[in-house]
Amino acid sequence: MAHIKPINPDLLTDSDVDYANFSCCGDEDLIFLRCPACGHLSVQCYECETWYVDLADTGRMESAYLSDDERLACPHCSVPFEDACHLMEGIVDRYLPTAAQVIAAGHGRHLARHLREQHGVLLPPST
């Protein structure tokens, strides 16, 4: 983990996701993504290219695998990301949210424990 290195320290990295909420390849390397056009939040596993396109339903997944001439397109507004290599250092800041943005969108439960505690995010009781 901690391979994603934004310049802005307020942006979330791969150590800021609660990995217990996601399951794909068994070697999950997860990062929050935020569409620059509409602000839609999603999570991508950059190990296997699984893309969790609906954080209210983490069972909705798509492939984020791209060929050289493709770009991810937001699952909400369909606007393609400007950069094909959206997770590269120096570029990734355009596509990462802050903890406050994740919480405001109602997805604070997907934040890693240290951020939930820091921001006072309460998890619903287990059923």
Give CA separation, 31 vs 68, 115, 124, in Å: 21, 14, 23
Can you give the pTM of this predicted structure? 0.92
Give residue for tokens 């606007």: 79
Q: Which two tokens stand for residue 112?
A: 């890693």
- CA 114 – CA 100 distance, rounded (Å): 14
pLDDT of residue 127: 52
pLDDT of residue 34: 98
Give residue for tokens 């950069």: 83
- CA 39 – CA 34 distance, rounded (Å): 5
DSSP state of 109: G
pLDDT, one tens digit per residue, over 100-121 is 999 999 999 999 999 999 999 9
* pLDDT at 69 exceeding the cut of 60: yes
